[in-house]
Amino acid sequence: MTEGIGSARAPANIALVKYWGKRDERLNLPEAGSLSVTLEGLEAHTTVRFGPSHPRDQLILDGHALPEVGMRRAVRILDRVREVAGVPHYALVQSTNSFPTAAGLASSAAGMAALALAASRAAGWDPSAEEASVLARLGSGSACRSIHGGFVEWIAGSREDGVDSHAVGVASPEHWPLEATVVLISEGEKPVSSTRGMAETAASSPYHAAWIGAVRHDLPVARAAVLARDFDALSAVAEGSCLAMHATMMAARPALCYWKPGTLQTLDAVARLRAEGRRMFFTIDAGPNVKVFAPPGDPDGALGALEALLPDKKTLRTRTGPGGSCVDETVSD
């Protein structure tokens, strides 16, 4: 092969039963499974070009060279693709995000999933969904879930080489098109990466073992709630998982807290509206932003009422959406 080009789009996803703890840091193998919902419209669009004219691997995200940490993650994916497909060349990767990067909006999940799909296509390799999910996981654990649409479960697996640690679809977007709004508290870079945060929590939080036990308990409850379209059951398990994850990291020594005053202000607004009978639930990843979900069609007008209570906050509307796929349009500068 002399040259190869491939492009893909992949969405962000938000975990409802969270991943926070690795059993292998190099391969991003989790201590327990997790369950997420894929988000429509918040996506990365990536083009990979392998060829002899590239003196090294280079990744340009929204016009800027990717910093070293992100680059190291991307190279794990590129190296694996080169190994499987026998490609002898470096790659030029160009990517754009349709939403703020590193704002706790799972931009790395979208980016690494899009990279996995685009790089395989560029190398002339057509991976199964399982293989694509394993490949995306090498860049960022949660990225393995962005290959699929709708509701997605990451099976933790038990093998040391990680080939059984990948995501599977639980239900399609059409099964249960939940509505959501993302309340942006801060668009800045997060102070502690999730990899470092997970390692510090596992090493020093007295609640870490209990947290992993809670995940194993919550997973089948959340899966059943999704399959039965039981919004109240999903609300309880998703908020419980989110708060347990944050409680575990707040109890680490030194403490790790991603929340800002606006985070609590948003939780308070959700509680007030729910007390009025409007159905909604929140979740928060490794950042201060809050994602709030309502049932299909948002019959109580919950999300609009929430946005009206938070007039100084930027928000982004989204809903349950499709997974990643290869596309023909390329990204170039």
Q: Per-residue x/- mask for ligand PMV, residues 165 to 204, rule CB under 6 A?
A: -----------------------------xx---------
Q: Which of residues 207-236 bind ligand PMV (CB under 6 A)?
A: none
- To ligand PMV, the closest distance from the beta carbon of 35 in angstroms equals 9
- To ligand PMV, the closest distance from the beta carbon of 276 in angstroms equals 30
Instruction: Indicate the residue among 19 and 207 with the shorter CB distance to ligand PMV.
Output: 19
CB 115 within 8 A of CB 95: yes
Q: DSSP character for 320?
A: B
Whole-angstrom distance, CA of residue 17 vs CA of residue 234: 10
Does 288 engage in binding with ligand PMV (CB under 6 A)? no
Does 141 engage in binding with ligand PMV (CB under 6 A)? yes
- Binds ligand PMV by CB under 6 A, chosen from 34, 97, 133, 283: 34
CB 236 within 8 A of CB 244: no
Tell me the window of 11-19, 55-63, 126-134, 261-269 that interacts with ligand PMV (CB under 6 A). Answer: 11-19
- Binds ligand PMV by CB under 6 A, chosen from 46, 101, 107, 140: 140
Does 142 engage in binding with ligand PMV (CB under 6 A)? yes
Order of strands, edge to edge, in the sheet holding 281-283? 281-283, 290-294, 179-184, 314-319
Instruction: Indicate the residue among 34 and 263 with the shorter CB distance to ligand PMV.
Output: 34
Helix (H) or strand (E) holding 171: strand 166-171
Whole-angstrom distance, CA of residue 40 vs CA of residue 317: 9
| Selection from 192, 142, 189, 107 nearest residue 22 by Cα | 142
- Binds ligand PMV by CB under 6 A, chosen from 9, 12, 18, 66: 18
Instruction: Indicate the residue among 66 and 286 with the shorter CB distance to ligand PMV.
Output: 286
**CB within 8 Å of 182: residues ≥ 6 apart:** 42, 105, 289, 290, 291, 315, 316, 317, 318
| Selection from 181, 179, 180, 184 nearest residue 314 by Cα | 184
Does 15 engage in binding with ligand PMV (CB under 6 A)? yes
Instruction: Indicate the residue among 18 and 89 with the shorter CB distance to ligand PMV.
Output: 18
Whole-angstrom distance, CA of residue 248 vs CA of residue 242: 10
Task: Classify residue 106 as left (phi > 0), alpha (psi -120 to 50) or beta.
Answer: left
Does 285 engage in binding with ligand PMV (CB under 6 A)? yes
Helix (H) or strand (E) holding 283: strand 281-283
Tell me the window of 3-11, 87-95, 137-145, 264-272 that interacts with ligand PMV (CB under 6 A). Answer: 137-145
| 26: Cα within 13 Å, side-chain hemisphere | 2
Whole-angstrom distance, CA of residue 324 vs CA of residue 333: 22
Whole-angstrom distance, CA of residue 271 vs CA of residue 281: 9
Q: Which of residues 100-119 bind ligand PMV (CB under 6 A)?
A: 108
Whole-angstrom distance, CA of residue 114 vs CA of residue 74: 11
Does 286 engage in binding with ligand PMV (CB under 6 A)? yes
Does 205 engage in binding with ligand PMV (CB under 6 A)? no
Does 258 engage in binding with ligand PMV (CB under 6 A)? no
Instruction: Indicate the residue among 127 and 287 with the shorter CB distance to ligand PMV.
Output: 287
Does 74 engage in binding with ligand PMV (CB under 6 A)? no
| SS3 of residue 111 by DSSP | helix
Instruction: Indicate the residue among 123 and 289 with the shorter CB distance to ligand PMV.
Output: 289
Tell me the window of 79-87, 136-144, 183-191, 226-234 that interacts with ligand PMV (CB under 6 A). Answer: 136-144
Interface ranges with ligand PMV (CB under 6 A): 15, 18-20, 34, 108, 140-142, 194-195, 285-286
